[in-house]
Amino acid sequence: MTGQNAGIIGMGHSYPEGILTNADLEKMVETNDEWITTRTGIKQRHKAADNEYTSQFGTRAALQALERAGLEPTDIDIILCATTTPDQIMPSTGALIQAQIGATNAAGMDVFAACSGFLYGLTMVESMIRTGQIRYALVIGAEVLTKYVDYTDRGTCVIFGDGAGAAVIGPVPEGKGILSTKIKSDGRYEEQLYAPGGGTKLGTSHQTIDDRQHFFKMKGNELFKVAVRSMADISAEMVKKAGYTVDDIDIVIPHQANQRITDAVAARLGVPDEKVYSNIAEMGNTSSASIPIAIDECIQSGRIKEGTLALLTAFGGGVTWGGTVIRF
Ligand code: UT7
């Protein structure tokens, strides 16, 4: 690829202190720790309090990422906040975070691509930096999913948790940064994961509230199969496009949807388990936040160092998916 390479130059993450354990869920729906652990790998998830909301976590993650990048908020040209659980319908959570961090030179907006949103954001700013249109971007994945989860539906409520991760993206030397990236969607699968109420199609009414239409609805096992195939295929394609083989990849950071999905993607790609990062036991599925939180944890623990070749892959409602190969 010609032009300026773009890469991650600072990361941060944040999540609510509140924790919802499998034992807590046992008191809410007919489920048990053994089922949740064996079917999802999840032991606990973080849950925002009633007075906590998405932009707060996005802001904390963004400020930490800026500090680690050694940049000021005013250095940022664009803020893309990937979220499916915005503070409110308008203005965008990206604009709210812009105000909260004081990024007065930036444009702030949201990326609405469910669990793939962080990779959507990375892909968009990569080309903006490559072409010289901007210098520094903040890509944030921030979610308070627990406020959209129906705690009477055991098929969805056990997997989702809250949190945010942020990346400062900027110019990096040739051979480093994002080496290949691709995003895709297929809206024909709309009803596999959706929240039907509250938009212009099914506006909020007493009836939609009574019918619980504003909560997420998910056909989990159907989504499962499409997720594995889509993530494995786009990953293989992006590794090849970057000029590598799967054996060259040092670490795979998949969207933390379900441990069984992660295991199946790794098996399909032929990547040994020790190269695949998972924090799902402690974090649950945090949608667009899961990949940036995981990257930051890997940097902080030393699992990602200068020179590490990483494969990122995501899949989510829409359906949407993506793959990115990045050299740190
Ligand atoms: O983040 C990106 C988008 N989301 C995903 O990628 C999620 C993908 N899907 C999944 O993670 C899994 O499909 C779930 C964890 C949501 C469900 O696991 P599953 O193994 O696909 O279960 P299932 O829906 O096929 O249900 C199997 C059985 C059913 O009972 P019967 O009909 O066999 O008697 C369910 O009613 O398990 C039952 N079940 C539960 N039992 C105890 C479903 N949820 C629960 C539960 N506790 N929480």
| Range(s) within the chain of domains with CATH label 3.40.47.10 | 5-174, 179-327
**Interval 211-264: pLDDT, tens:** 999 999 999 999 999 999 999 999 999 999 999 999 999 999 999 999 999 999
- Name the pTM for this structure: 0.97
User: Considering the domain 179-327 in this protein, what is its CATH number?
Assistant: 3.40.47.10
Does the pLDDT at position 141 exceed 90? Answer: yes
Average pLDDT over residues 7-17: 98
Average pLDDT over residues 167-194: 96
pLDDT bin (cut points 50, 70, 90) of residue 2 is: confident
Spatial separation of the C-alpha atoms in residues 196 and 118, rounded to whole Å: 23
**Interval 66-110: pLDDT, tens:** 999 999 999 999 999 999 999 999 999 999 999 999 999 999 999
Does the pLDDT at position 1 exceed 80? Answer: no
Average pLDDT over residues 133-160: 97
Identify the three-state secondary structure at position 192: helix
Percent of the chain at pLDDT > 90 equals: 99
Average pLDDT over residues 149-174: 97
pLDDT of residue 4: 96
Tokens of 55: 């932009």
- Average pLDDT for the chain: 97
Homologous superfamily, domain 5-174: Thiolase/Chalcone synthase (3.40.47.10)
Atom of ligand 1 nearest to the CA of 227: 6
The set of residues, in sequence order, having a beta carbon less than 8 Å from that of 199 and lying 6+ positions away, is none
> Using omega within 30 degrees of 0 as the cis cutoff, is the peptide bond preceding 319 cis?
yes
Q: Which residues pair with 139 in a beta bridge?
A: 80, 167
Distance from residue 254's CA to the centre of ligand 1 (Å): 20
What does the DSSP assignment read for 103-130?
-TT-EEEEE--GGGHHHHHHHHHHHHHH
Active-site residue numbers?
115, 255, 285
pLDDT bin (cut points 50, 70, 90) of residue 29 is: very high
Spatial separation of the C-alpha atoms in residues 200 and 297, rounded to whole Å: 39
pLDDT bin (cut points 50, 70, 90) of residue 14 is: very high
Does the pLDDT at position 326 exceed 80? Answer: yes
Ligand 1 neighbours, Cβ below 6 Å, are 31, 35-36, 39-40, 115, 154-155, 158-159, 193, 220-221, 223-224, 227, 257-258, 261, 285, 287, 315-316
Distance from residue 160's CA to the centre of ligand 1 (Å): 13
